[in-house]
Amino acid sequence: MTDIAMIRAAAARAMGRVRQTPLLTSPFLDEIAGRRVFVKAECLQHTGSFKFRGAWSALTGMPETERAGGVIAFSSGNHAQGVALAAKILGVRSVIIMPRDAPEMKIANTRALGAEVVLYDRASEDRDALGDRLSNDQNLTLVKPFDEPLVIAGQGTTGLEIAAQAREDGIENAQVLVPCGGGGLTSGVALALEAEAPGMVVRPCEPAGFDDAIRSLRTGRIERNAAMTGSICDAIITPSPGNLTFPIMKHLCQPGIAVSDEECLHAMALAFSRLKIVIEPGGAVALAAALFHADSLPEGDIIAVASGGNVDAEMFIKALETNV
């Protein structure tokens, strides 16, 4: 089970490899939120999202004999790129299983990072069976996207940085808003801050209608999303929080915040004009919550994690055009 010692160990392994991302501010955002807002720009991480942290932690934390045989992951997006780059740097083989209808650009990017991409048909093929077969036949170690202690530890290094940066900036208590898919980032950050900055309150943020983590926190047990499609925040939509991540969130997190697609697009446009960073829709849910739902939070500073920036030009243009 992930604990603060595992997160610190992941941070030690990450030194010089994982980028320390800046905590950005703008007086214009403070004015919208009616309080100070700090944005942890994890979109500037290698491969454009925090997922590289978890992948690096998993690959450097597993036994060398396992790693040497190569790794395998299921992903159509950020986790794929994180695993591919980590494997490339470490000089080991990576196989990524992606749906045949994934965007051409994401497939190309994953291949360009050195991964062998295996495509499957969502309608006719069983992804898990394919993964098991490849993994067994070729001696590949599976790197899960969130429900894996080493991955949670890697994502938790984001929380260690937030704690250190908050200290430097004189922030003692804050609402820490985290985009939540399976809960790897949220639970890792919560564990890190529990140890390093106990004045911080961690809350998961999700797209409205796909708020499985928020509802799970409310009922105290794992709830599922009714659908997996229908939001522009597709990168952070999972069936439910994980069996490992949810107990951590249940223990450490306060109620979450759901935001609309329109609010995400607006937050993306404001991040463009005020912070000069590129955020993808799913990566913007926490900033959207900070800017447009601050009323529902106790007073004090807000730290919002901008978890990724892998958005195509078309969607980004839509964000700018609808919010000028």
Q: Which is nearer to a second copy, 16 or 298 (CB)?
A: 16
Residue 309 Cβ vs a second copy, minimum distance, rounded to whole Å: 3
Q: Retrieve residue 245's tokens.
A: 């991540």
Q: How far is the CB of 125 from a second copy (least distance, A)?
A: 30
- Cα 233 from Cα 210, distance rounded (Å): 9
The residues, ordered by sequence, that sit 6+ positions from 129 with a Cβ below 8 Å of its Cβ are none
Task: Give the residue with the Cβ less far from a second copy, 100 or 276.
Answer: 276
| Total residue length of the chain | 324
Nearest residue to 21 via CA among 210, 160, 190: 160
Q: Which of 128, 126, 84 is nearest to 108 (CA)?
A: 84
- Give yes or no for residue 265 binding a second copy (CB under 8 A): no
CA-wise closest residue to 178 among 141, 217, 142: 217
Which residue in 21, 60, 225, 231 binds a second copy (CB under 8 A)? Answer: 21
Under 8 Å between Cβ of 171 and 55: no
Asked if 225 and 206 touch (Cβ cutoff 8 Å), the reply is: no
Pairing between strand 23-24 and 37-41?
Answer: antiparallel
- Cα-Cα-Cα-Cα dihedral sign, residues 270, 274, 280, 283: negative
Q: At 211, which amino acid appears? A: D
Site for a second copy in 99-128 (CB under 8 A): 109, 112-113
Cβ distance to a second copy smaller for residue 217 or 233: 233
Nearer to a second copy, 40 or 215 (CB): 40
From candidates 5, 12, 119, 320, binder to a second copy by CB under 8 A = 320
- Minimal distance in Å, beta carbon 306 to a second copy? 9
Q: Does 277 bind a second copy (CB under 8 A)?
A: yes
In 3D space, the residue among 187, 233, 189 whose CA is nearest the CA of residue 210 turns out to be: 233
Contact flag: residue 309 with a second copy (CB under 8 A): yes
Q: Does 152 bind a second copy (CB under 8 A)?
A: no
> Whose CA is closest to 214, among 266, 285, 308?
285
Residue closer to a second copy by CB (options 217, 284) is: 284
Q: How many residues bind a second copy (CB under 8 A)?
A: 36
Minimum distance between the CB of residue 219 and a second copy, rounded to whole angstroms?
36
Kindly tell me which of 46 and 51 has the beta carbon lying closer to a second copy.
46
Rule CB under 8 A: say whether 324 interacts with a second copy: yes
Q: Whose Cβ is closer to a second copy: residue 16's or residue 91's? A: 16
**Using CB under 8 A, which of 4, 8, 9, 22 touches a second copy?**
22
- 166 in Cβ contact with 219 (< 8 Å): no
Cβ-based nearer residue to a second copy, 24 or 232:
24
Tell me: does residue 313 bind a second copy (CB under 8 A).
yes
Q: Phi first, then psi: what are they for 132, rounded to 5°? A: -60, -45
* List 237, 278, 288, 304, residue binding a second copy (CB under 8 A): 278
Looking at residue 98, what DSSP letter applies? E
**By the criterion CB under 8 A, which residues form the site for a second copy?**
16, 19-22, 24-25, 27-28, 31, 41, 43-44, 46, 48, 85, 109, 112-113, 168, 269, 272-273, 275-279, 309, 313-314, 316-317, 320-321, 324
